[in-house]
């Protein structure tokens, strides 16, 4: 910005540059704070206490779960839920079956089947079968069948089948659908919906607004920093211009 532009005022002693920098800071604050408020209204943070969802979500990782009704959950979703039969604390597992499904494992190729159709699960820990122990389950209406991605180290619906139960939990037990990993830094990212479930009836769910929220926060931070930096830069340029006069 030239010195003549910096000295041009709006009639109240403010230069064009200072007006624009103030506007940038104001808009940046709206975006930055608005993004956090938006996130607080829609998402809840959770810490994953075990490695049952490894390698998708490591033990101790922080995730953001969108507050959704259980009726919105689809196959392939990772959910946070709480059910008295499973324990006192919220748990994080992947939904592989919904009401009316017949879930079984494993085929000769070691794959999980839903209503007789094999499902590709590239997110699984290791390269072995989809479950080290075979099982079959019929999921009642309004229920969800849940498995961890680390099938050899996950206490999930398979364990509850041994109690003579169907192993599933009611949709009403869902507290949120995991949309993103928030910590550690190296794992930050949006959870991708697995393509293996997309062809089944009902398809897969769509991610919540975690990406536009992130963009709003980042854009707001950039505008705030850029607007705040204008003052010192303008003063330095003014001093240099005066020294050459």
Closest by CA to 78, choosing from 131, 154, 139, 132, is 154
Is it the case that residue 86 has pLDDT exceeding 80?
A: yes
Element containing residue 160 per DSSP (H, E) = helix 157-161
pLDDT in tens, 167-216: 999 999 999 999 999 998 888 889 989 999 999 999 999 889 988 998 88
Q: Which residues pair with 105 in a beta bridge?
A: 112, 135
pLDDT in tens, 93-116: 999 999 999 999 999 999 999 999
**Domain formed by 50-207, architecture:** Ribbon (2.10)
Is it the case that residue 69 has pLDDT exceeding 90?
A: yes
Neighbours of 235 (CB within 10 A): 11
* Separation between Cα atoms, residue 176 and residue 182, nearest integer Å: 15
Residues labelled as active-site residues: 52, 93
Q: CA distances (Å), 199 to each of 75, 146, 196, in order?
A: 11, 19, 7
Length of the chain: 245
CB contact set of 141 (below 8 Å; sequence gap of 6+):
99, 100
Is it the case that residue 9 has pLDDT exceeding 70?
A: no
Contact (CB, 8 A) for 133 and 158? yes
pLDDT in tens, 38-63: 888 999 999 999 999 999 999 999 99
Closest by CA to 113, choosing from 129, 99, 102, is 102
Q: Which residues pair with 104 in a beta bridge?
A: 113, 136
Q: CA distances (Å), 229 to each of 2, 17, 139, 211, 233, in order?
A: 16, 11, 59, 27, 6
């Amino acid at each position: 910005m030239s010195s003549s532009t910096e000295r041009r005022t709006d009639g109240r002693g403010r230069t064009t540059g200072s007006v624009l920098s103030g506007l940038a800071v104001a808009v940046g604050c709206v975006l930055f704070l608005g993004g956090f408020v938006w996130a607080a209204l829609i998402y809840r943070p959770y810490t994953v206490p075990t490695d049952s969802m490894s390698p998708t979500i490591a033990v101790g990782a922080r995730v953001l779960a969108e507050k959704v009704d259980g009726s919105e959950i689809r196959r392939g979703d990772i959910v946070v839920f709480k059910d008295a039969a499973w324990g006192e604390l919220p748990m994080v597992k992947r939904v592989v079956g919904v009401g009316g499904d017949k879930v079984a494992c494993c085929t000769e190729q070691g794959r999980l089947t839903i209503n007789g159709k094999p499902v590709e699960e590239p997110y699984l820990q290791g390269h072995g079968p989809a479950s080290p122990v075979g099982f079959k389950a019929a999921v009642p209406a309004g229920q969800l069948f849940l498995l961890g991605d680390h099938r050899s180290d996950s206490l999930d619906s398979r364990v509850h089948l041994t109690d003579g139960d169907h192993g599933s939990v009611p949709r009403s037990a869902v507290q949120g659908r995991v949309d993103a990993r928030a910590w550690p830094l190296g794992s930050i990212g949006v959870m991708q919906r697995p393509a293996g479930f997309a062809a089944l009836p009902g398809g897969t769910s769509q991610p919540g607004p975690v990406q536009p929220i992130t963009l709003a926060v980042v854009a707001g931070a950039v505008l705030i920093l850029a607007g705040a930096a204008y003052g010192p830069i303008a003063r330095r340029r003014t001093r240099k211009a005066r020294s050459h006069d």
